[in-house]
Amino acid sequence: MARKQCAYCGTFVGEDVKRCPSCREEIPERLEIHKAPQGGAEIRRGLLYMLLGATLYFFAKPGGPVPIPFQVPEMVTTYLLPLLFILGVCFAFYGGLRRMGLF
- What is the rounded CA–CA span in Å between residue 29 and residue 23? 17
User: Which of the given ranges, 22-26, 68-72, 79-83, has the highest pLDDT on average?
Assistant: 79-83
- What is the rounded CA–CA span in Å between residue 44 and residue 15? 44
> Where along the chain do its domains lie?
1-33, 40-100
Asked if pLDDT for residue 1 goes beyond 70, the answer is no
Residues 29-75: tens digit of each pLDDT: 877 777 766 889 999 999 999 999 999 999 998 888 888 888 899 99
- What is the number of other CB atoms lying within 10 angstroms of the CB of residue 18? 9
Angle at 96 between CA 91 and CA 98, to 5 degrees: 95
- What is the rounded CA–CA span in Å between residue 27 and residue 94? 42
**Would you state the pLDDT for residue 15?**
86
Residue 68 backbone dihedrals phi, psi, to 5 degrees: -100, 150
